[in-house]
Structure 1
């Protein structure tokens, strides 16, 4: 199982695509019916889809898996009683699978048979997405749900988040203890720390400063720098997320504490709590499809 892409609906999709390619550092993949697909240097056909819409919402977050894993998901999702339906992907890469709505409205898409593409050169392109994080009204309940219904594993718990993995990467998603449900942020995996720092410098050249970072997280130990994109969401340069073994023991909030006035391992940067909070409320979840039998 791998996290592949995130699909956003918003006003000004072309302008958002221009920012992500010209300044943030992605590469255009293609445009289909007004939806802009943007890729990184790795083998996924796209990492972000930007669809023109009257108002912003998070359409889906897409994972790719084997056919066998997809059949397991159909059974566990049906047993959990979640709203779901079979789907054929019309996005680059194709594939077929299922759409699943979690208890707080998060829509996840799981595809088997999706094609990959040849990697491309570009030292400042993100390689892939490293994680997509959601705000949650009840992060603990959602963490338990994805373990039960999706076969994901909780990696760590902090005062702020429940971190969840779907493979050996410490987290492919997390659920923030926010008191509401929405997109928290999208993290792009850069080649190395230098690529993260060059990205910070590139955005400074365009008058943008980090909303938090650079720093190094506790859970996952990844280097980070968060920005608030001009089109609304929180986006992150990230690298070197920890790989964990199958028997990794989840940490509890008391295992992840910092000295006074610090909120990451380095403690060298401030955090724009108010600005981030406003941006995190922008992209809510929306299901615009009817549930249907998965025929399991």
Structure 2
């Protein structure tokens, strides 16, 4: 197993049709805040430098641009580049807002991955101790993980563990893969569904009470829950999923995720409803679809009426 290069998820970059509109939407729906820059925007959950970049899509489809991870403390970009190239992967250097530069890689599914050097927070105190006149009452605690759909989960497992040194947490059957780089259960996951697509960006909330408040909040703005609240058996977190249909992904609100013991042993969970949701119900099949037809089926509650 390759040595681990990354210590945490730092930010995601999303291509949007209109930066001003998207900034207002993420601010309104998720309680994020940030700054509009020259041609792009930076957003954060609390006091981090940023966790979300909004960029104009131009002639591209509004979609996930890349996912960025911080390198292990003390590991410089040049050292990481040499190590990754020695593992047989091509790397290019790109500009990254605030962080100046990063290393760009592309996984076997075509998902772009960026690595940036670790920066300690300017204020080392717990976020709840730091005063602010910008953070609203409802806001996420942090950007927590990313989940993709894939056509080949084994290939993704090999790449992330051998090139970046991610650690295996658990499997569900042979098609569901969860990986970690810190004590939290997962920072990255893949479900083999026959095609490659971002599935969700996950934001951690404080507790189930804040999730209730968050779901009431998005409902007022016409966003409905596709699946949830659920209790994942594997990972143990409470979770609810709703669509950010403008950029073809789901948002997950979650809390109470499993923290791994130092001697955690990966487990293969049976591919059954209990592993996905100990409370019972599985997601509608539209949960794995991103077409306008699938979104309309959810709005019409087709899966609840047993219509074909």
TM range, smaller chain: 0.7 to 0.9
Tell which structure's C-alpha radius of gyration is larger. 2
Cross-structure match for 1:136 = 150
Which structure 2 segments of 5+ residues have no match? Answer: 1-6, 293-308
Cross-structure match for 2:48 = 44
Q: 1:146 to 1:14 in 2, by over 3 A?
A: same
For residues 197-256 of structure 1, the C-alpha deviation after alignment (integer angstroms, 9 at most, x for no partner) is: 1101111222322010011112211111100114132111111211112321111142x5
Write the mapping of 1:1-296 to structure 2, written as runs, cut at 5 A.
Answer: 1-27=7-33, 29-41=34-46, 43-53=47-57, 54=59, 55-65=61-71, 66-68=73-75, 73-89=80-96, 91-92=97-98, 94-114=99-119, 116=121, 119=127, 120=132, 121-159=135-173, 160-231=175-246, 232-254=248-270, 257-258=272-273, 263-267=276-280, 271-274=283-286, 276-278=288-290
Shift of 1:266: 1.6
Which structure 1 segments of 5+ residues have no match? Answer: 281-296
Root-mean-square deviation (CA, aligned residues, Å) is 2.5
For residues 96-145 of structure 1, the C-alpha deviation after alignment (integer angstroms, 9 at most, x for no partner) is: 44111112212111111446455445452111111011221111221122
Shift of 1:70: 5.2
Q: Secondary structure at the match of 1:60?
A: strand
Higher relative contact order (CA 8 A, sep 6+): 1
Q: Secondary structure at the match of 1:83?
A: coil
Taking the aligned partners of 1:13 and 1:272, their CA distance within structure 2 comes to 31
Question: Could you tell me the TM-score, scaled by structure 2's length?
Answer: 0.80
Count of paired positions: 273
Question: Could you tell me the TM-score, scaled by structure 1's length?
Answer: 0.83
Cross-structure match for 2:303 = none
Taking the aligned partners of 2:231 and 2:141, their CA distance within structure 1 comes to 19
Q: Secondary structure at the match of 1:20?
A: helix
